[in-house]
C-alpha cells in the first residue's frame, strides 16, 4: 500500500491511500489523484506498482517532476529515463518555482516489497515456512524425483503435454494439469506471469499478473485467478526461492481475502529463464491445499520444482512464439500497407504526364529518355531549380523494367553527414550513440529498384568515396558492419550545379563525377520552352480548381501573353505556385486577368508605351525596344554588365555583342 499526502498546492491536506497497480497524477478529472494547480499537466505523472517497489514516472509533463530524498533533489529527465523507484520518506514535486506541488510518500511493508497486480495486501507477518529451495538448487532436485517410478512417469507425461502445447494458454493449462498429477494434495493451481513489453523486456515497475487458476476435478477453463499469498510470493520472487508454507491463513494473518480463499498450505515455485546470476524470474507456480493443514511435503516441493524447471522453458518459448506471431502479423499488415501505398504511388507516377510539346521537351523524352530507361547505366539529371528533375527521375524508373520495384528518393542536402551515411547505407546496433537496433539503408531498401539522389553535389566528400564503391562494385557496408552486402540498385542523380566546375574547385570527386555522368540528361528551363507555358498553366489551373473546389473559366489572352513573356527563374515550380495563388484569388467561374498576376510578372506590361518607338517596320520597332531594354538594364545595375546580362537571361559575351551592334 502507498499513501500520498499533498503538503503543498491547492489540494493541500488531502490524503490518498491506494493499493492499485497504477496511480495517475494530474490536473485532468480522470486522474486517480487530481491536482487542480494550473502548472500541473493534465496527465503529469504516474506511480506504478512493480515486483520490487513503486516507481514514479514523469509523463513528459510541461513543468517537470522531481523527487526530494534527504538533501538531494532528483529531477526526472532523459538521463534517468524519466522514472525513479520511490523510497519511504520521499517527497514528490510536480512543477517548478513558487507554485510547486509537493506530495509526501509513505510506504508500508507490503508496498515496499514485491507487489503483484491483484495480489493479497496486508499479510506482513509471513507464513510458516517448512522448506525452501534456492534457484540454483532447483536444477539438481530432478535426481530425487527419478527414484519414484510413479512420479517419474507422471512427470514424463506432464512434460510431454507441456511440450506439445501450441500457445501460452495451452502451456498454462498443461502446467496446471501436470501439477495436479504430480502433487495429489493440491486442490488449486495458479500460474502467475510477469508482464512484458512487445520486445520481451520489462521495466523496473514490471507487474506479476495471475493468469489462470484451475481446480482439481473441475472441467473447463477454470475459475477466476485467485489471490496470490503475498508473503510467499515475495519470498519466491525477491529471494529466488521455492517455498512450502503451512497453515497460511493462521500464520500469515486473518485478512478478509485470505480467509475467503481458505488457503491451508501453499507451495510457491519460481518460473525462470537463463542460468547462473543472469536468470530472470518469469512468474510463479502456486499450488494450494484448502482441505487440511500441513499437507504438502518436501517431496511435493521437489517434484513441483522439477515441473517448474521444464515449464519455465515452455513458458519462455510460448511467449517468444506469441511475440513472433504478433510481430509477423504486424509486419504482414505493414507490408500490405506499404505495398498498397507503393502501388498507388507507382500508378500515380506512371500516369503523371510530363507536360510539354516544345522541341526541347520532345528531344528530352524521345531522343534521350526513351533510349536509357531499360539500361542499367547511371543517369545524371542536370537543370535549374524547379525544372522537374525528380519527375524525370521517376519517369526513368516507372518506364523501365524496374517499375515493379521501389523508387526511393533522398535529398543529399537535407541531412548532416553522419545521418546521411546511416540513411543511405544503414547501420548495425551499437555502432554509434543512439543506434539501438539494426537499420536498413536506402540502398538495401531499393535493392532491385531505383535510388534517386537529389542534390548529389551536396554530398560530403567522405561519403562520395562510399557511393563510388557502391557504383563500382555493387556493394555497400553498413555503419559498424564487418562485411559488405551485394545490392542491385540503379542510381539516378540530380544536381542544379555545374559538376565540372565543382570538380575543378575540389568540391566533388572527379572519379565519382565520371561514374555519375554516364548518361547526362539536361532538363531545359521554362524560358527555353515558352510554348509549353500555356499547357502547364492550364494543367495547374484545372488541378487547383478541382482541389479547392472553385471552377475557373481559364486565362485571358493578355494574362497568358504576360505569363509567356516572363522568364520564370523558378521554372515550373514558380509557375505552379503562381497558378495556385491565382485560383485562390479569382471569382468562381471567372477568368484570370492581368491585374491578378504577381507584380514581377506584370513588370513587362505597358513596355511599348514606355519605350514609345517611332513608327517603322517590325524589325525597326523591335530593335528600338531591345536597345531600350539594354540601356535600362545597365542603368538598373549601375553599368554592371555581368548582373545586367543575368537579368536579361543572356551571357556576358552575348551582351557585349548586342551593345556593339547598337553602338553602345
pLDDT tens digits, residue range 308-358? 888 888 888 888 888 888 888 878 877 776 666 666 555 555 445 688 888
410-425 confidence digits (pLDDT tens): 999 888 888 899 999 9
Instruction: Please report the pLDDT score of residue 539 as a whole number.
Output: 94
Sign of the Cα torsion 502, 508, 514, 520 reads: negative
CA-to-CA separations, 533 to 43, 327, 352, 527, in angstroms, rounded? 55, 51, 17, 9
**What DSSP string describes 594-621?**
GGGS-HHHHTTTTHHHHH-PPS--HHHH
Across residues 537-551, what is the average pLDDT? 93
Distance of CA 590 to the CA centre of its chain: 46
Grid cell at residue 2: 502507498
pLDDT digits (tens, 9 = 90+) for 554-603: 999 888 888 988 889 899 999 999 999 999 999 999 999 989 998 888 87
**Please, what sign has the CA dihedral across residues 18, 23, 26, 30?**
negative
Rounded Cα distance between 286 and 308, Å, is 10
pLDDT (mean) for 219-235 = 67
* Selected residue with higher pLDDT from 422 and 278: 422
Spatial distance between the Cα atoms of 29 and 49, rounded to a whole number of angstroms: 22
DSSP 8-state class, residue 225: P
66: left (phi over 0), alpha (psi -120 to 50) or beta: beta
Query: What is the per-residue pLDDT for 74?
Result: 92
Helices (H), 70-185: 109-112, 135-138, 142-146, 149-164, 168-182
Return d(Cα 356, Cα 531) in angstroms, integer: 8
Q: How confident is the model at residue 116 (pLDDT cuts 50, 70, 90)?
A: very low
CA nearest 104: which of 116, 117, 87, 80? 87
Cα(550)–Cα(603) distance, integer angstroms: 28
**261 is written with which cell numbers?**
480463499
Q: Identify the weakest region by mean pLDDT among 341-345, 439-443, 531-535.
A: 341-345
Query: What is the per-residue pLDDT for 110?
Result: 40
- Average pLDDT estimate for 436-458: 91
What mean pLDDT do residues 461-478 have?
A: 90
Which H or E run includes 581? helix 571-585
Choice between 491 and 352, residue whose per-residue pLDDT is larger: 491
- Asked whether the predicted pLDDT for residue 66 surpasses 90, the reply is yes
Query: Would you say the C-alpha torsion 562, 564, 565, 568 has a positive or negative sign?
Result: positive
As beta bridge partners, residue 398 has none
Cβ-count burial 400-419 (b if 16+ within 10 Å, e if not): bebbebbbbbbebeeeeeee
CA distances from residue 427 to 420, 441, 453, 471, 478 in whole angstroms, order as listed? 11, 7, 19, 19, 5
Q: At 33, list the grid cell.
A: 489523484
| pTM of structure | 0.48
| DSSP at 233 | H
Amino acid at each position: 500500500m502507498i499513501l500520498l499526502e499533498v503538503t503543498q498546492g491547492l489540494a493541500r491536506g488531502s490524503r490518498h491511500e491506494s493499493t492499485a497497480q497504477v496511480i495517475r497524477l494530474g490536473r485532468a478529472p480522470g486522474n486517480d489523484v487530481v491536482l487542480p494547480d494550473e502548472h500541473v499537466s493534465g496527465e503529469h505523472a504516474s506511480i506504478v506498482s512493480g515486483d520490487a517497489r513503486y516507481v514514479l514516472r514523469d509523463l513528459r509533463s510541461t513543468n517537470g517532476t522531481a523527487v526530494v530524498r534527504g538533501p538531494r533533489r532528483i529531477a526526472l529527465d532523459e538521463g534517468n529515463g524519466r522514472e525513479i523507484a520511490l523510497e519511504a520518506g520521499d517527497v514528490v514535486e510536480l512543477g517548478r518555482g513558487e507554485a510547486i506541488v509537493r506530495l509526501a510518500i509513505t510506504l508500508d511493508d507490503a508496498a515496499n516489497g514485491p507487489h503483484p497486480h491483484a495480489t493479497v495486501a496486508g499479510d506482513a507477518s509471513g507464513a510458516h515456512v517448512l522448506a525452501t529451495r534456492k534457484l540454483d538448487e532447483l536444477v539438481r532436485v530432478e535426481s530425487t524425483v527419478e527414484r519414484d517410478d510413479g512420479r517419474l512417469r507422471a512427470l514424463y507425461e506432464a512434460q510431454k503435454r507441456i511440450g506439445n502445447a501450441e500457445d501460452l494458454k495451452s502451456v498454462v493449462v498443461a502446467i496446471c494439469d501436470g501439477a495436479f498429477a504430480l502433487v495429489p494434495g493440491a486442490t488449486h493451481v495458479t500460474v502467475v506471469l510477469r508482464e512484458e513489453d512487445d520486445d520481451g523486456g520489462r521495466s523496473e515497475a514490471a507487474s506479476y499478473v495471475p493468469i489462470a487458476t484451475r481446480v482439481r476435478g473441475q472441467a473447463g477453463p477454470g475459475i477466476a485467478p485467485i489471490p496470490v499469498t503475498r508473503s510467499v510470493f515475495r519470498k519466491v520472487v525477491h529471494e529466488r526461492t521455492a517455498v512450502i508454507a503451512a497453515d497460511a491463513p493462521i500464520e500469515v494473518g486473518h485478512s478478509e481475502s485470505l480467509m475467503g480463499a481458505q488457503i491451508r498450505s501453499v507451495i510457491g515455485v519460481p518460473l525462470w529463464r537463463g542460468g547462473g546470476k543472469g536468470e530472470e524470474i518469469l512468474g510463479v507456480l502456486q499450488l494450494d491445499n484448502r482441505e487440511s493443514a500441513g499437507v504438502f511435503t518436501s517431496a511435493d516441493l521437489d517434484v513441483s520444482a522439477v515441473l517448474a524447471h521444464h515449464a519455465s522453458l515452455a513458458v519462455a518459448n510460448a511467449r517468444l512464439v506469441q511475440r513472433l506471431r504478433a510481430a509477423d502479423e504486424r509486419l504482414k499488415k505493414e507490408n500490405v500497407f506499404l505495398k498498397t501505398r507503393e502501388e498507388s504511388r507507382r500508378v500515380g507516377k506512371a500516369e503523371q504526364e510530363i507536360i510539354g510539346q516544345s522541341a526541347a521537351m520532345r528531344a528530352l523524352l524521345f531522343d534521350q529518355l526513351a533510349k536509357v530507361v531499360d539500361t542499367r547505366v547511371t543517369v545524371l539529371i542536370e537543370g535549374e531549380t524547379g525544372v522537374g528533375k525528380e519527375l524525370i527521375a521517376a519517369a526513368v524508373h516507372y518506364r523501365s523494367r524496374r517499375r515493379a520495384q521501389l523508387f526511393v528518393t533522398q535529398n543529399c542536402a537535407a541531412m548532416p553527414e553522419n545521418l546521411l551515411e546511416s540513411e543511405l547505407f544503414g547501420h548495425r546496433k551499437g555502432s554509434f550513440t543512439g543506434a539501438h537496433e539494426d537499420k536498413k539503408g536506402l540502398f538495401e531498401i531499393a535493392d532491385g529498384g531505383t535510388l534517386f539522389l537529389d542534390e548529389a553535389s551536396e554530398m560530403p566528400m567522405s561519403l562520395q568515396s562510399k557511393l563510388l564503391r557502391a557504383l563500382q562494385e555493387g556493394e555497400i557496408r553498413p555503419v559498424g558492419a564487418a562485411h559488405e552486402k551485394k545490392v542491385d540498385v540503379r542510381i539516378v542523380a540530380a544536381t542544379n550545379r555545374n559538376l565540372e566546375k565543382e570538380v575543378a574547385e575540389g568540391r566533388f570527386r572527379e572519379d565519382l563525377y565520371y561514374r555519375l555522368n554516364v548518361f547526362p540528361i539536361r532538363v531545359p528551363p521554362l524560358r527555353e520552352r515558352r510554348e509549353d507555358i500555356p499547357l502547364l498553366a492550364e494543367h495547374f489551373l484545372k488541378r487547383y480548381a478541382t482541389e479547392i473546389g472553385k471552377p475557373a473559366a481559364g486565362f485571358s489572352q493578355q494574362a497568358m501573353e504576360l505569363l509567356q513573356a516572363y522568364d520564370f527563374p523558378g521554372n515550373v515550380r514558380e509557375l505552379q505556385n503562381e497558378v495556385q495563388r491565382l485560383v485562390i484569388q479569382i471569382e468562381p467561374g471567372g477568368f484570370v486577368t492581368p491585374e491578378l498576376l504577381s507584380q514581377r510578372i506584370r513588370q513587362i506590361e505597358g513596355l511599348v508605351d514606355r519605350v514609345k518607338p517611332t513608327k517603322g517596320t517590325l524589325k525597326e520597332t523591335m530593335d528600338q525596344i531591345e536597345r531600350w531594354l539594354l540601356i535600362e538594364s545597365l542603368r538598373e545595375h549601375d553599368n554592371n554588365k555581368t548582373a545586367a546580362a543575368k537579368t536579361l537571361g543572356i551571357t556576358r559575351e552575348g551582351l557585349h555583342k548586342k551593345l556593339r551592334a547598337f553602338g553602345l
